[in-house]
Chain A
Amino acid sequence: MIPSGVTVEEVFLGAAALFVVLAIMMFYRAVAGPTTQDRLLAVNVLGTNTVVILALLAAGLDEPWFLDIALIYALLNFLMAVAISKFTVERGGVL
């Protein structure tokens, strides 16, 4: 039984808002560190969260092309994490 007054779109938008709150929680780790790798890890998780938020918005606002952006963001996020971990090691060669 669908509760009256609540649409699926509103559920998605609400969930996206909650994911933003969780992302802000994780942002603490990106600011606090203490090591570069900690920040990097936090930013990487934030990136995954962003991808999820974009996908939820795509469903909530009924704009399927948001998913294209999410896809590109996921790939860029990966590149960012690998590139920065490569450069934080003095000798490089992380992969």
Chain B
Amino acid sequence: MIESIRFWAIIVLIAFGLFFTFVSAMGVLRLPDVYARAHTASQADTLGAGLALAAVALALGWQHATVYTVLLLFFVFITNPTAAHAIARSAAESGIDPWTKESEEEGETK
């Protein structure tokens, strides 16, 4: 019984993790500029990775490796926004203008 619940919980966590990573991949492909893509990239970092790693922790059970999983998630949560910020700031400093609705109407960007 417990095994069965654990099995389905793992399935659900992985399914949602895949879903959010899929959305993130769609966003990275579809969105118009680097700033907008950075938003959706953080989805893969937070919920996509978070749910998949939760599934791994659940499968490994209460052992040493589970602590690793939590640690891994902790690092991903701390470092990725910093990296996203560094990328966005470097984009801003290189003079990349953010895409807006108006710029699409003017036909400046693709």
Interface size class of A (residues with CB under 8 A): 35 or more
Cβ-defined contact, B72 with A86, below 8 A: no
Of B25, B48, B75, B94, the most chain A CB neighbours within 10 A belong to B25
Q: Main SS of chain A's interface residues?
A: helix
Cβ-defined contact, B10 with A11, below 8 A: yes
**Chain B 55-99 interface residues, beta-carbon cutoff 8 Å to A:** 55-56, 59-60, 63-65, 68-69, 71-72, 75-76, 79-80, 82-84, 86-91, 93-94, 96
Chain B hits for A35, CB < 8 A: 34, 91, 94, 96
Q: Main SS of chain B's interface residues?
A: helix
Known A-B contacts A45-B45, A49-B21, A55-B52; A89 and B37 likewise in contact (beta carbons under 8 Å): no
Chain B hits for A68, CB < 8 A: 68
- Residue numbers of A with Cβ under 8 A of B are 1-2, 8, 11-12, 15, 18-19, 22, 25-26, 28-29, 35-38, 40-42, 44-45, 48-49, 51-52, 55-56, 58-59, 64, 67-68, 70-71, 74-75, 77-78, 81-82, 85-86, 88-91, 94-95
- Residue numbers of B with Cβ under 8 A of A are 3-4, 7, 10-11, 14, 17-18, 21-22, 24-25, 28-29, 34, 37-38, 41, 44-45, 48-49, 52-53, 55-56, 59-60, 63-65, 68-69, 71-72, 75-76, 79-80, 82-84, 86-91, 93-94, 96
